[in-house]
Structure 1
Amino acid sequence: MSTCQALVIPADQAQPARVETIGTDLETLQTLVHGSIEAVSGKDWHFYLNEEGKILALMPNVRAAALVWELTGALTDVYCGDVVFLGDDAQGEEADLPAHVIAIWEQTRIGQPTS
Protein backbone atom coordinates (compact mmCIF):
# COMPACT_ATOMS: atom_id res chain seq x y z
CA MET A 1 0.00 0.00 0.00
CA SER A 2 1.25 3.46 -0.92
CA THR A 3 1.05 6.34 1.54
CA CYS A 4 0.99 10.08 0.91
CA GLN A 5 0.67 13.29 2.85
CA ALA A 6 -2.89 14.55 2.53
CA LEU A 7 -5.14 17.31 3.83
CA VAL A 8 -8.34 15.92 5.31
CA ILE A 9 -11.11 18.52 5.69
CA PRO A 10 -14.23 17.40 7.56
CA ALA A 11 -17.47 19.07 6.48
CA ASP A 12 -18.31 19.63 10.15
CA GLN A 13 -16.50 22.88 10.95
CA ALA A 14 -16.34 21.91 14.63
CA GLN A 15 -13.79 19.24 13.60
CA PRO A 16 -10.32 20.49 12.68
CA ALA A 17 -8.85 19.85 9.27
CA ARG A 18 -5.53 18.05 9.42
CA VAL A 19 -2.47 17.25 7.34
CA GLU A 20 -1.59 13.59 7.81
CA THR A 21 -0.05 10.61 6.09
CA ILE A 22 -2.75 8.29 4.75
CA GLY A 23 -2.93 5.11 2.74
CA THR A 24 -4.02 5.82 -0.82
CA ASP A 25 -5.82 2.53 -1.36
CA LEU A 26 -9.50 2.65 -2.31
CA GLU A 27 -10.72 1.27 1.01
CA THR A 28 -8.91 3.95 3.03
CA LEU A 29 -10.17 6.75 0.78
CA GLN A 30 -13.72 5.42 0.97
CA THR A 31 -13.47 5.26 4.77
CA LEU A 32 -12.28 8.87 4.95
CA VAL A 33 -15.19 10.16 2.80
CA HIS A 34 -17.73 7.69 4.22
CA GLY A 35 -18.72 6.08 0.93
CA SER A 36 -17.87 5.72 -2.74
CA ILE A 37 -15.36 8.28 -3.95
CA GLU A 38 -15.54 10.93 -6.63
CA ALA A 39 -12.45 12.86 -7.73
CA VAL A 40 -12.19 16.56 -8.50
CA SER A 41 -8.97 17.59 -10.23
CA GLY A 42 -6.87 20.72 -10.02
CA LYS A 43 -3.52 21.64 -11.58
CA ASP A 44 -1.15 19.48 -9.51
CA TRP A 45 -3.64 18.36 -6.88
CA HIS A 46 -7.00 16.66 -6.61
CA PHE A 47 -9.45 15.76 -3.93
CA TYR A 48 -11.87 12.99 -3.17
CA LEU A 49 -15.33 13.29 -1.71
CA ASN A 50 -18.37 11.08 -1.34
CA GLU A 51 -19.89 10.76 -4.82
CA GLU A 52 -23.39 10.61 -3.31
CA GLY A 53 -22.85 13.52 -0.94
CA LYS A 54 -25.61 15.66 -2.40
CA ILE A 55 -28.06 12.76 -2.73
CA LEU A 56 -27.42 11.78 0.90
CA ALA A 57 -27.80 15.44 1.96
CA LEU A 58 -24.35 15.50 3.54
CA MET A 59 -23.25 18.80 5.02
CA PRO A 60 -21.69 21.18 2.47
CA ASN A 61 -17.92 21.44 2.94
CA VAL A 62 -17.47 25.20 3.10
CA ARG A 63 -13.77 24.97 3.98
CA ALA A 64 -12.97 22.72 1.01
CA ALA A 65 -14.89 25.06 -1.30
CA ALA A 66 -13.00 28.06 0.11
CA LEU A 67 -9.66 26.30 -0.45
CA VAL A 68 -10.64 25.50 -4.05
CA TRP A 69 -11.54 29.18 -4.48
CA GLU A 70 -8.13 30.21 -3.09
CA LEU A 71 -6.37 27.76 -5.44
CA THR A 72 -8.33 28.43 -8.64
CA GLY A 73 -10.32 31.64 -8.27
CA ALA A 74 -13.47 29.76 -9.27
CA LEU A 75 -16.11 27.42 -7.88
CA THR A 76 -18.08 25.15 -10.16
CA ASP A 77 -19.91 22.96 -7.65
CA VAL A 78 -21.06 22.48 -4.07
CA TYR A 79 -18.87 19.90 -2.30
CA CYS A 80 -20.70 17.86 0.32
CA GLY A 81 -19.19 15.68 3.03
CA ASP A 82 -15.61 15.16 4.13
CA VAL A 83 -12.86 15.87 1.58
CA VAL A 84 -9.34 14.46 1.14
CA PHE A 85 -6.82 16.55 -0.86
CA LEU A 86 -3.80 14.79 -2.44
CA GLY A 87 -1.19 15.65 -5.04
CA ASP A 88 -0.48 14.21 -8.49
CA ASP A 89 2.89 12.90 -9.66
CA ALA A 90 4.18 13.17 -13.26
CA GLN A 91 2.27 10.00 -14.22
CA GLY A 92 -0.98 11.18 -12.68
CA GLU A 93 -0.66 8.84 -9.69
CA GLU A 94 -1.30 9.72 -6.04
CA ALA A 95 1.44 11.85 -4.47
CA ASP A 96 1.99 14.04 -1.43
CA LEU A 97 -0.11 17.18 -1.46
CA PRO A 98 2.03 19.96 -2.97
CA ALA A 99 3.66 22.31 -0.47
CA HIS A 100 1.98 25.37 -2.03
CA VAL A 101 -1.49 23.90 -1.29
CA ILE A 102 -0.52 23.20 2.32
CA ALA A 103 0.95 26.72 2.60
CA ILE A 104 -2.28 28.32 1.34
CA TRP A 105 -4.27 26.20 3.78
CA GLU A 106 -2.00 27.12 6.69
CA GLN A 107 -2.04 30.83 5.80
CA THR A 108 -5.80 31.04 5.56
CA ARG A 109 -6.88 28.38 8.10
CA ILE A 110 -10.31 28.75 6.53
CA GLY A 111 -13.04 27.98 9.04
CA GLN A 112 -10.75 26.26 11.52
CA PRO A 113 -12.25 25.92 15.00
CA THR A 114 -10.55 27.94 17.69
CA SER A 115 -9.49 26.25 20.87
Structure 2
Amino acid sequence: MYEPARVESIATGLQNLQSIVAGNIEAVSGDGWHFYLNEEGKIMRLEPNRRAALLLFEATGVLTDVYCGNVVFLGETADGSEGNVPGHLIDLAQQLFGLNQPVNQ
Protein backbone atom coordinates (compact mmCIF):
# COMPACT_ATOMS: atom_id res chain seq x y z
CA MET A 1 0.00 0.00 0.00
CA TYR A 2 1.22 3.49 -0.79
CA GLU A 3 1.85 6.35 1.58
CA PRO A 4 -0.73 9.14 1.75
CA ALA A 5 -0.55 11.78 -0.98
CA ARG A 6 1.31 14.82 0.29
CA VAL A 7 2.75 18.19 -0.69
CA GLU A 8 6.37 18.83 0.21
CA SER A 9 9.52 20.48 -1.07
CA ILE A 10 12.03 18.05 -2.55
CA ALA A 11 15.41 18.14 -4.23
CA THR A 12 14.75 17.58 -7.93
CA GLY A 13 18.10 16.07 -8.85
CA LEU A 14 18.10 12.83 -10.80
CA GLN A 15 19.40 10.73 -7.91
CA ASN A 16 16.66 11.92 -5.53
CA LEU A 17 13.90 11.42 -8.11
CA GLN A 18 15.18 7.90 -8.80
CA SER A 19 15.17 7.21 -5.07
CA ILE A 20 11.56 8.35 -4.74
CA VAL A 21 10.32 6.15 -7.60
CA ALA A 22 12.74 3.29 -6.78
CA GLY A 23 14.38 3.10 -10.19
CA ASN A 24 15.03 4.86 -13.46
CA ILE A 25 12.57 7.65 -14.13
CA GLU A 26 10.08 8.16 -16.92
CA ALA A 27 8.26 11.48 -17.37
CA VAL A 28 4.60 12.04 -18.21
CA SER A 29 3.80 15.65 -19.15
CA GLY A 30 0.75 17.82 -18.66
CA ASP A 31 0.08 21.51 -19.20
CA GLY A 32 2.69 23.29 -17.07
CA TRP A 33 3.41 20.19 -14.97
CA HIS A 34 4.70 16.65 -15.25
CA PHE A 35 5.23 13.62 -13.11
CA TYR A 36 7.95 11.04 -12.80
CA LEU A 37 7.51 7.34 -12.20
CA ASN A 38 9.59 4.18 -12.39
CA GLU A 39 10.03 3.40 -16.10
CA GLU A 40 9.99 -0.35 -15.35
CA GLY A 41 7.09 -0.23 -12.89
CA LYS A 42 4.89 -2.55 -14.95
CA ILE A 43 7.71 -4.99 -15.66
CA MET A 44 8.58 -5.06 -11.94
CA ARG A 45 4.88 -5.62 -11.19
CA LEU A 46 4.65 -2.59 -8.95
CA GLU A 47 1.15 -1.84 -7.73
CA PRO A 48 -0.90 0.39 -10.08
CA ASN A 49 -1.03 3.93 -8.75
CA ARG A 50 -4.76 4.65 -8.88
CA ARG A 51 -4.37 8.08 -7.27
CA ALA A 52 -1.97 9.24 -9.98
CA ALA A 53 -4.29 7.86 -12.65
CA LEU A 54 -7.35 9.56 -11.14
CA LEU A 55 -5.54 12.89 -10.74
CA LEU A 56 -4.31 12.71 -14.33
CA PHE A 57 -7.76 11.80 -15.64
CA GLU A 58 -9.50 14.55 -13.66
CA ALA A 59 -6.89 17.14 -14.74
CA THR A 60 -6.83 16.24 -18.43
CA GLY A 61 -9.89 14.13 -19.23
CA VAL A 62 -7.56 11.51 -20.73
CA LEU A 63 -5.99 8.35 -19.36
CA THR A 64 -3.80 6.45 -21.81
CA ASP A 65 -1.75 4.15 -19.60
CA VAL A 66 -1.51 2.33 -16.28
CA TYR A 67 1.00 4.02 -13.98
CA CYS A 68 2.68 1.77 -11.44
CA GLY A 69 4.62 2.55 -8.28
CA ASN A 70 5.39 5.87 -6.66
CA VAL A 71 5.00 9.06 -8.65
CA VAL A 72 6.20 12.59 -7.98
CA PHE A 73 4.39 15.55 -9.56
CA LEU A 74 6.35 18.73 -10.35
CA GLY A 75 5.62 21.97 -12.12
CA GLU A 76 7.58 23.61 -14.92
CA THR A 77 9.11 27.04 -15.17
CA ALA A 78 8.95 29.15 -18.35
CA ASP A 79 12.39 27.87 -19.38
CA GLY A 80 11.42 24.21 -18.84
CA SER A 81 13.16 23.71 -15.50
CA GLU A 82 11.60 21.90 -12.56
CA GLY A 83 9.19 24.11 -10.63
CA ASN A 84 6.40 24.11 -8.09
CA VAL A 85 3.28 22.10 -8.86
CA PRO A 86 0.58 24.48 -10.16
CA GLY A 87 -1.97 25.47 -7.53
CA HIS A 88 -4.92 24.13 -9.55
CA LEU A 89 -3.37 20.65 -9.54
CA ILE A 90 -2.76 20.79 -5.78
CA ASP A 91 -6.35 22.00 -5.26
CA LEU A 92 -7.66 19.11 -7.37
CA ALA A 93 -5.56 16.58 -5.43
CA GLN A 94 -6.85 18.06 -2.17
CA GLN A 95 -10.45 17.63 -3.37
CA LEU A 96 -9.84 14.06 -4.53
CA PHE A 97 -7.67 12.68 -1.74
CA GLY A 98 -7.06 15.21 0.98
CA LEU A 99 -3.37 15.94 1.36
CA ASN A 100 -0.81 15.77 4.11
CA GLN A 101 0.90 19.13 3.99
CA PRO A 102 3.97 20.16 5.97
CA VAL A 103 3.37 22.61 8.78
CA ASN A 104 5.22 25.93 8.37
CA GLN A 105 7.16 26.76 11.51
What TM-score do the two structures reach when normalised by structure 2? 0.90
Given candidates 72, 75, 78, the residue that maps to 2:60 is 72
What are the equivalent positions in structure 2 for 1:34-113 lying under 5 Å apart? 34-109=22-97
Show CA shifts across 1:17-73 (max 9, x none): 110000000010000000000000001110000000011010000000000001000
Which residue in 1 is equivalent to 2:103? none
Aligned equivalents of 1:52 and 1:26: distance in 2? 16
Q: Which runs of 4+ in 1 moved over 6 A?
A: none
The count of corresponding residues between Structure 1 and Structure 2 is 99
Mapped to 2, the partners of 1:92 and 1:43 lie a distance apart of 12
Unaligned runs of 5+ in 2: 100-105
Q: TM-score, normalised by structure 1?
A: 0.83
Residue 24 of structure 1 aligns with which residue?
12
For residues 95 and 65 of structure 1, the distance between their equivalents in structure 2, rounded to whole angstroms, comes to 21
Matches of 1:52 and 1:106, distance apart in 2: 28
- Flag structure 1 segments of 5+ consecutive residues without an equivalent: 1-11
Whole-angstrom distance in 1 between the partners of 2:54 and 2:5: 13
